Structure 1
Amino acid sequence: MARLTTPFAIADLSPAPNRALALELARAGLAVFPVRGAGPDAKKPCPSVRWSLDATTDAAAIEVWWRRWPDAMPALHLGRSGLLVVDLDRHDGGADGLTAWAEVSGGEAGAPAVDTPSGGRHIYFRQPGGRAHGNREGLLKGRGINIRGHGGYVVAPGALRADGEGAYQPVLAGALVAAPPVPDWLYALIDPPAAKPAPRQRPAAPPIADTRLGRYADKAIAAEIDALRAAGKGGRNNQLNRSAFALGQMVGAGWVGEAAAMSLLTSAAEACGLVADDGLPASLATIRSGLKKGRTQPRDAPPPRKGPRRLVRERGGAVVDGDTGEVVHEVKRARAAVEFPDALTRVPGLVGDITDWISATARRPNRVLALGAALTLVGTAMGRFWAGPTLSSTVLYMLALAPSGVGKDHALQQIKRLLAAAKMARTIGPDEFISMPAVIHFIEREPLSLCPMDEFGSFLKRINAKRASGFERGISKIMRSVWGTNFGLMTTPEWAATPARTVRAPALSIYGASTPEDFFEALDGGDVSNGFLNRFTLLTVASRTEDREPPEPPLVVPEKLSESLRRLFGGGNPLVVASKLHETDVEIEPFVIPWGPGAEAVYMGFQRDILAWQDRDHDAENFIGRAAEMAVRMATIRAGGRDPVAPEITKDDMEWGRAVALWSARTLYRMGRLYISETDFQAEANRVLRLIDAEGGEISQETLRARMKSRLKARELREVIETLEDTGAITRESVATEGGGPRKTVYFLRG
């Protein structure tokens, strides 16, 4: 099996064997396929390879290709990889693309750049969600600058030609997966306005003297400016772009003047520190670009609010129009509809056995919390030795969210108790990290560990606080790196007195327990946009169980469980445990668990489903982007727990992993939208939405007022409700019961 080196820093690689390079790229999530490595057809797809259809991130398919064509070079499917490449040509007697690029870009650097054997250069950018620019050069045509994007491909950086005529050698440090987005000025050149349809003509907005429209406009402007003022590092420039676009829409609608919008945005950019860090010219360029785009899509005025309809609730629970019989709102959603399905906690093998034991030893049994603990326990036992068929690790960041009094502490204690009984106490990690150096030093000592962390939300709140030190805020960066490294190399930072080190296959798993409020309120805006949040597998509990006397003694670990866990640890080989699992500088060649019949098809189908979801809803990527990877990790853990001798991922394993990952992704997305806020007003609006959601999607005005009485004055609550109605988040109805009685005002969630 190929040895895996740096997992993401593709631009830092020296030329490597093409097969190993293809696996590296695929593991980083980039779709690859083989092209001929020499001769007159060099760079063309290998025979029978339909590159636009066959490009893949599947390691098994890549192994088959390179066994057949060992001299092939890996190429990147740019559309599937979300990349756009500027291809700079340099030919005798022709246009010099490198010189032309220096002129149009102003020497802008920072994007990965790769010198090609012909003397040209490839500049890599990432296409943001919703953009799929193809191969059009636009205004750059004829200048030696070609564009390769959706519907195009390039030979991968680091690829070696088989005829010895050179290599595609990186020249700038940086990873393709972290390439900067295509800059606005480049889109303007390759997709100029003249090539676009004229902006739609919106009907004239009602005069701003309309008090309701004026109130709506004031709130919309204030919300954008407040969000920008509160933006933290990592998300400020994106927020500036979003806010500038939004205010540009309002300029186009006649709600605010452009000079006023520019002034408001500049002031907010200064307040959040963006001007100080990036400079005023860069901020002004972003503002002008956003305003210009927004003006072409004027904001629509809110629809006139209708008076409460006269509706009737039938005895079955549905709300219908009393005159037409039309069902306006379905039966109130039961709480069970948002609970984790109990059937998914009934798992064969060691994962299920541990789930049963943790539940049986609890005073307040909860199989959902127990399942999360079981998955991280078995995943840790398999760590640094077993790999999934996509060469993924078994590292999990498991997030158990539940209200106080549910019994979260029991699962945390049983994790440590079982690891100690299995003679794996060395893998028990700390319940909190104080700083980024502390995380690094711990991983250097113990590259395989499981951290049972209580009050995880409080931990995040500390490291994301405005007064947090750089070392505290750097913790999340290290956590992101560990989750994605798999069996590659993680390079630590270098300080004045501490040289950088490399850690092979770091495997730090987390079982973090928190309340939903503490966790989501602790998140920084950057945690959502930088991929930190979607690395977590979320399991939630909404209801409490009654105390009981545990049917099994909590302090006694069944020998069968500890032995089974030990059998997975290093494949049950004490020599492997002693010589490799706890060492950071030894070569790790994992045992790859293969696909069984039908399992890979389930995985590939799920991957397509997630991509389609992201295409439909671009905001979803920040919450669901790694769901397919989570699914295969959990399926790998379940397979290893079923058969520690010759495991195979069955179709049932993969369908179960898909179901858990999909439930997690949907719930994370729903809860994120109900909790995450940038302003105090938005936080209170989200609190109202959560109350309605918790009541099954509807709540009476009387109940809502009672629940919010201690937080908001009547006038403030009224403003929140009006805003939620104006934005279409909720509807207000007047509902009577079928048998008569007084009408009640009821608020319903929409969507």
Structure 2
Amino acid sequence: MTQRSASLTIALALAQLGWHVFPLSPGTKGPLANCKRCDPKTQPAHQIETCACIADGAWCHGVRAATTDPARITAWWRRAPHAVPGIAAGPSRLVLIDIDTHGEELPDNHATALLPGIDLRTELIGEAAWRDRSAFRTGRDSLNLLARLRGGRNPWPSDAAHQPLVVTTPSGGTHLWYRAPEGVTLHQALASTRRALAWKVDVKAGWSYGVAPGATTTAGTYTITSGTPASIGHMPDWLTGEVIRVASSEHRDTTPAPTRATATSTASADRGTRYLLAVLNRGDTQLREQRGKEGRKQRLAALAYQAGGLIHLTTLTERDVIDRLTDTGIASGINAKKAENIARSSLANGQRRPLTIRS
């Protein structure tokens, strides 16, 4: 069987099960590039809602072009026979737990970095469960800690209703594919952000994607080791709760912001904080209304720039504001990593031009 026929067979089989498929580069595992008519740098660029390129057999707009239409999928692989099928998590009503095993040193503040958003020093699990840094080498270790902390004695149910599709990646990592919970909108939560599920564990949901189970990239094959795509279970309750905590569009970090020493009086700092929070709230509402439209990245950059000019008047830290801006970007449909990069760089630019609040 040729690479094209194998990839197409996988893509069509998964599409028949309701998995939304689109083509990826076998080398980078990223979506195949837009045509020139759909390049965001082209003005006016085609909008996906009215784009004729997809109907003509193009794969423009990346993950948002994902489909279960066998004719469209076949046309894609006829034009790009070496493409690798990718799966859009949200449209497929799936959640992918991506567990990394690459060698990487545990952060120094591992009491809070192992399970972002959870301070292990305040938990009843006891220091013996997390104090030994050498016990945490991969994402499996941190996820097992979360399971022990939140899941009780038997955190991984063995019944068929809770069985994921388990895939071993070419690098030795693990993909756990689960059914997405009903009635909640999710986005991805990357291990590199403060909203991570666990150290070296990504949550792929909403408009994020993973390589299709069984597909082969230049790095190797994503091998199914247990379960079947036709029968995917739901996450156990404890994992559902934690995924919603970090990946829900309504998620906000409720940890009180630490105060920082400034020359500003307490009264004016409180006023500045209230003012900046009002600016962020207004920007959040406007960006959510922009979801799916052009100009979201520019609006997020402008909001972050303004926040940078005001942050010196507040008790908020840079991390607090970057996290808030990143959540706003994600809620508007911007990729999580891109949203954080925009927030970080534009906030820094704004800090070079401090603003004042008019009386």
Scaled by the length of structure 2, what TM-score is found? 0.45
Q: Which of the pair is proportionally richer in helix?
A: 1
In our comparison, the structure showing a higher alpha carbon Rg is 1
